[in-house]
């Protein structure tokens, strides 16, 4: 009996350890849920930065950056005619206080233009202490959430210290955490009690079999009694009258209430960069070598600038492949997933001014598999998209090119 108890405890401990491992493995917000071609060929994030990663309750933190709306938008994904910028958090651990797109504050969904670049900024306020994994994301209508780069935020302090007070148009200062809570609870309980009473009124008598037998016996007129009809008429008349009366009382008490907004903001993309088109990149071919977990691009680079340029980075699906041969200023932001293997160039020499060069770029790393980006070779839309960053070797000027190509899988 003792041995059986020991074995049972050991099995229980093993199951709990598996549960713990599973919990640790799902601390994410669905970054990998969408198909790879959606994550790589819709919203392409870059230059995303958080101004801090440690803050206190009531302290503000902001995330800012840019994103490119891919020209090669997947045909199976609705056009971004309604998209909503938000922050993915594990519950109400922060509140959003400000939000900007191209420097303009906006509250609603926005229509994005494929091929355009946008800058964004979201200001948040710490609410609940803890350590949380946070992402900016765009919710695309009929497509889902396209996540941006994520970071860990640490919020210190005590939950009771949180304050969310605002001043109304009438000059009254209210606490948004508790304002209207009692009224909301009352109406939820009232309608719940009314619905429960209506349900119990019909459940108090024999159901199904007994009523079926009465129908078979031709006694269907006796299934609904005079009291049933009286109560039904009372609810049919009383509920609309009650709702209308309370609505009139509410509008009289709060004449300046602003309804929830349902408009669609129209914000144009950023103006084209001064150096746009100075360095052109054309993707001729893309191959994914499954056994090596490597994406190989054959590209044609046309450098029409006055100085040599070098390829510094390729980013797709929030994964950054860096050319380690370049100095530190060319490296990606520290908040992003950086591939350890980096970027390998067939010809690493700078591309001279006026030169056209066809070259092979290899982005190899296990992140293709762990981030499930290699799943695109099994998708009906096996095309890759991303941003290629080139740098002026003398002035440090950056050139960004959105590249895309059909992917040919290689299994050997």
Residue among 96, 100, 15 nearest 61 (CA)? 96
If 0-12 CB within 10 Å is exposed, 13-18 middle and 19+ buried, where does residue 167 land?
exposed
Domain ranges of the chain: 36-167, 175-253, 279-410
Contact in structure between 311 and 345 (CB atoms under 8 Å): yes
Structural domain 36-167, CATH architecture? Sandwich (2.60)
Measure the CA–CA gap between 183 and 250, rounded to whole angstroms. Answer: 12
Tokens of 123: 């200001």
Q: Do domains 36-167 and 279-410 have the same CATH topology?
A: no
Residue pLDDT tens, the chain, 412 long? 445 444 444 444 444 443 333 333 334 556 777 889 999 999 999 999 999 999 999 999 999 999 999 999 999 999 999 999 999 999 899 999 999 999 999 889 999 999 999 999 999 999 999 999 999 999 998 888 899 998 999 999 999 999 999 888 888 899 998 899 999 999 999 999 999 999 998 888 777 788 788 888 887 777 888 888 999 999 999 999 999 999 999 999 888 888 888 889 999 999 877 666 789 999 999 999 999 999 999 999 999 988 999 999 999 999 999 998 887 555 555 456 888 888 999 988 999 999 999 999 999 999 999 999 988 888 888 999 999 999 987 877 889 999 999 999 998 7
Please tell me the number of Cα atoms within 13 Å of 23 on its side-chain side.
Answer: 6
Q: What is the pTM of this model?
A: 0.81
Nearest to 282 by CA among 359, 219, 346, 175: 359
CATH 3.40.50.720 given to domain 279-410: no
**Strand locations in 93-129 (E):** 94-101, 104-105, 109-111, 117-126
At the fourth CATH level, the homologous superfamily of domain 175-253 is Helix hairpin bin (1.10.287.710)
| Two structure tokens written together for 258 | 């602003």
């Amino acid at each position: 009996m003792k041995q059986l108890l020991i074995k049972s405890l050991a099995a229980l401990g093993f199951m709990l350890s598996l549960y713990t491992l599973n919990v640790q493995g799902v601390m994410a917000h669905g970054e990998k849920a969408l198909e790879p071609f959606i994550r790589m060929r819709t919203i392409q994030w870059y230059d995303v930065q958080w101004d801090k990663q440690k803050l206190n309750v009531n302290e503000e933190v902001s995330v800012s950056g840019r994103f490119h709306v891919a020209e090669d938008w997947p045909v199976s994904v609705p056009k971004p005619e309604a998209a909503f910028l938000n922050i993915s958090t594990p519950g109400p651990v922060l509140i959003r206080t400000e939000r900007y797109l191209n420097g303009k504050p906006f509250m609603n969904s926005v229509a994005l233009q494929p091929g355009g670049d946008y800058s964004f900024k979201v200001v948040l306020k710490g609410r609940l202490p803890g350590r949380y994994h946070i992402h900016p994301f765009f919710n695309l209508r009929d497509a889902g959430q396209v996540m941006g780069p994520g970071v860990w935020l640490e919020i210190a302090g005590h939950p009771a210290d949180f304050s969310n007070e605002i001043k109304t148009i009438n000059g009254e200062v209210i606490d948004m955490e508790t304002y209207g809570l009692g009224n909301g609870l009352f109406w939820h309980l009232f309608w719940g009690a009314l619905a429960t009473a209506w349900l119990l009124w019909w459940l108090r008598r024999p159901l199904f079999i007994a009523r079926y037998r009465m129908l078979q016996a031709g006694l269907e007129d006796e299934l609904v009694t005079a009291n049933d009809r009286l109560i039904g008429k009372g609810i049919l008349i009383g509920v609309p009258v009650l709702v209308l009366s309370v609505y009139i009382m509410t509008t009289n008490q709060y004449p300046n209430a602003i309804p929830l907004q349902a408009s669609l903001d129209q914000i144009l993309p950023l103006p084209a960069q001064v150096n746009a088109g100075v360095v052109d990149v054309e993707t001729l071919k893309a191959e994914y070598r499954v056994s090596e977990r490597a994406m190989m691009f054959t590209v044609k680079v046309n450098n029409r600038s006055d100085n040599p340029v070098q390829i510094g980075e390729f980013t797709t699906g929030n994964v950054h492949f860096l050319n380690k041969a370049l100095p530190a200023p060319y490296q990606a932001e520290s908040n992003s997933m950086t591939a350890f293997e980096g970027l390998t160039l067939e010809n690493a020499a700078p591309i001279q001014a006026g030169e056209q060069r066809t070259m092979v770029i290899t982005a190899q790393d296990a992140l293709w598999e762990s981030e499930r980006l290699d799943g695109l070779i099994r998708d009906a839309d096996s095309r890759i998209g991303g941003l290629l960053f080139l740098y002026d070797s003398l002035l440090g000027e950056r050139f960004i090119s959105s590249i895309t190509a059909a992917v040919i899988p290689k299994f050997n």
